[in-house]
Amino acid sequence: MYEINKLVDRPSKDIISQLSKFGVAMIADSMGRYGAMKPYIRPVASGMRIAGPAFTVQTYRSDNLMIHIALELAQEGDILIVDSGEVTNAGLWGELMTTMALKKKLGGIVTDGAIRDSEEIIGSKFPVFSKSISPLGGFKESLGSVNVPISCGGVVVDPGDIIIGDDDGVAVIPKNKAEEILKTCEETLKKEQLVIEGIENGRTLFELLGLPEKLQKLNIKLP
């Protein structure tokens, strides 16, 4: 069954803004090391960051018709999240689509497939995260879905989930867990700041992490 839905239950801009202050690594840790896409989902250039609601797309293999539909329907700030079935033999996103996305002020795109025109995309500074790069273009012939639950980079993504991306990768924050995860991130940040202060005051990281006690439980003695 194919579906094309325009309406998305988007989280508030405030919660997105607060979560965007944290790196993907900390967010992933705060979710129990779940919710981060597989490490092959990378930005096409260092320094690219994304933060916004997911606008999901499910394409047929090597076909980008549904991405064009999503590009037409998405709103300012939306992050296109594309389930391409991890097929990378065709670049389903390129310079022309990037130009349109910039015009609409979208927040970025993440795909488990391939993109192309990487040099032009990097020059545009539009945030693009993908599994691969391919010079070949995609077809525009096949059905798919827009704004349905999908899988991208090994993570389930629902429309409206909060997407955070940086040089470490991409994290998917379920919209109904956003407040809880924000609180955990804030607590984690405080703990890390205390560790940094401890190091600056002469203590070792080994000690601050409680590793001597852990070794004792494991009956391991350092030489």
Spell out the per-residue pLDDT of the chain, length 223, in tens.
Answer: 799 999 999 999 999 999 999 999 999 999 999 999 999 999 999 999 999 999 999 999 999 999 999 999 999 999 999 999 999 999 999 999 999 999 999 999 999 999 999 999 999 999 999 999 999 999 999 999 999 999 999 999 999 999 999 999 999 999 999 999 999 999 999 999 999 999 999 999 999 999 999 999 999 999 8
DSSP strand E in 11-60: where?
42-43, 50-58
Question: Residue 10: its pLDDT value, please?
Answer: 97
Domains and CATH numbers, the chain: 13-175 (3.50.30.40), 182-217 (no CATH)
Place of tokens 């993907």: 24
Question: Residue 223: its pLDDT value, please?
Answer: 87
Q: Which of 166, 144, 160 is nearest to 42 (CA)?
A: 166
Question: Residue 1: its pLDDT value, please?
Answer: 79
Question: 43 burial class (0-12, 13-18, 19+ CB within 10 angstroms)?
Answer: buried
pTM of the model: 0.95
Question: Residue 134: its pLDDT value, please?
Answer: 98
Question: Residue 40: its pLDDT value, please?
Answer: 97
